[in-house]
Chains A and B, each alone.
Chain A
Amino acid sequence: MRTGIVVFPGTWSDRDCAHAVSEVLGQPARYVDHREERLDDLDLVILPGGFSYGDYLRCGAIARFAPVMEAVTDFANRGGLVFGICNGFQILQEARLLPGALLRNASCEFRCEWVNLRVEQSESAFTLDCRPGQVLRIPISHGEGNFFVDPQTLGAIERNGQVVFRYCAPDGRVTAESNPNGSLGNIAGIANARGNVVGLMPHPERACEDLLGGTDGLALFRSAIHALDRVAV
C-alpha cells in the first residue's frame, strides 16, 4: 500500500501517521507537500490532523484551496483511497468530498481523551476488517468536531450507509453521555457514497501500539490494505 501523507503548513499528525503506516504496518509511505500536483504513485492519501493554516477563517477552509487538493479530488474521483483524520476530515468537507461540516464542540472545550466508536458498516475501504457493531477504542483530540449536516442530507447518508462510526458507550450503546462534542446522531466518521473516501475525528494512527494505550486503530489501516488487494484481484 503506497501511502502519501499530505503536509500543510500547520499539520501536526503527519509523523504519527507515517510511523503507523511504515514502522508498525511495514508499508511504504512518503510525505506529500501541499504544493504537489501529482499523486499517481500512490494507493492511499492521508490528510492528517493538525491546524492547517492556523485553522484561520474555518478549520480546513484555506487548505482546501492548496494545489494538492485538486490532485486529491482527481485521485478520489478515480477511486483512490482517501483518509481524512481530524483536520483532514474538516478539509474533505470544505472540499465537498464529504458532506456536512464540523462545528465547535458543544462544550466549547478542546477534548483530548479516549473514546469508544461503534462501527456502523464494514463496506467502506477503512472498515472492511471490522464487523458492524464492533466497538473500537481510539483517542480524540479536537475543539471543532461537532458534526453537522442539514436534515435532508443526514437522512440520505443514514439511508445510504455512509455513517461509518458513532461515539458510543463501552458496550456499544449510542448514548448522549458518550458523545464528546455534540455531533448529530453521535456521528464520528462518514464515507462518500462510493466508500473510498472516509473522514473521522478520532485518531486511529495514535492507537496502533500497546505502548500508546491500544491497537484498535490498526483495523482501519489494515482494512485499506485489504481494500487494495480486492481491487488488485
Chain B
Amino acid sequence: MTYHAEVFVTLKPVVNDPAGLTIKGGLQALGFDSVSDVRAGKYLVVTLDADDEGDARSRVEEMTRQLLANAVIEDYRIELKVPSPATAAGQGGGS
C-alpha cells in the first residue's frame, strides 16, 4: 500500500529562529500589529510503500530520526495520510 506521510520539522522552542523573527518583522511592517511571534520550519511529504499503517508510521519515524530532523535543534510531528479505499482501488486497477 502507498502512504503519504506529512513531516513537520520545527526548531525547538529554546532555539533562536532568525528566519521567523525576520518574517515577523515583515508582517509587522505590513501593519499586522497583532502578530507576536512567527516560527519557521520545514514541511516534507514522504510517499512510501508499507504493509500497513503501523509499518508506515514506524518507517517514517525512523527516517525522521536518522535524517529529516536533527534532535539537537529540532522537534518533529508526523501525520500519516491513509489512502482511501477508492484511491487504493484506483491504483490497483491501474486507471
Q: Once bound together, how far apart are the Cα atoms of A94 and B70, in whole Å?
A: 8
- CB contacts (< 8 Å) of B22 on chain A: these are 108
Q: Once bound together, how far apart are the Cα atoms of A101 and B69, in whole Å?
A: 12
Q: Name the distance in Å between A144's Cβ and chain B's nearest Cβ.
A: 10
Please state if B16 and A106 are interface contacts (CB–CB under 8 Å).
Answer: yes
Please state if B70 and A61 are interface contacts (CB–CB under 8 Å).
Answer: yes
Please state if A149 and B72 are interface contacts (CB–CB under 8 Å).
Answer: yes
Question: Which listed residue, A93, A150, A182, touches B16 by the CB 8 Å rule?
Answer: A182
Q: Once bound together, how far apart are the Cα atoms of A148 and B71, in whole Å?
A: 12
B19 within 8 A of A: yes
Q: Name the distance in Å between B48's Cβ and chain A's nearest Cβ.
A: 17
Interface size class, chain A: 20 to 34
Please state if B73 and A103 are interface contacts (CB–CB under 8 Å).
Answer: yes
A116 within 8 A of B: no
B18 within 8 A of A: yes
Q: Name the distance in Å between A186's Cβ and chain B's nearest Cβ.
A: 15
1/0 per residue, CB under 8 A from A, across B46-74: the answer is 00000000000000000000011010110
Instruction: Show 24 A/B contacts (Cβ-Cβ < 8 Å), sorted by A.
Output: A57-B42, A57-B67, A57-B68, A61-B67, A62-B67, A65-B67, A94-B70, A100-B72, A101-B70, A101-B72, A101-B73, A103-B11, A104-B18, A105-B18, A106-B18, A107-B18, A108-B18, A146-B16, A146-B18, A149-B72, A150-B14, A150-B72, A182-B16, A182-B18
Other A-B pairs, 10, CB within 8 Å; known A103-B16, A106-B18: A57-B67, A58-B70, A61-B67, A103-B73, A104-B19, A107-B18, A148-B72, A149-B72, A150-B14, A150-B72
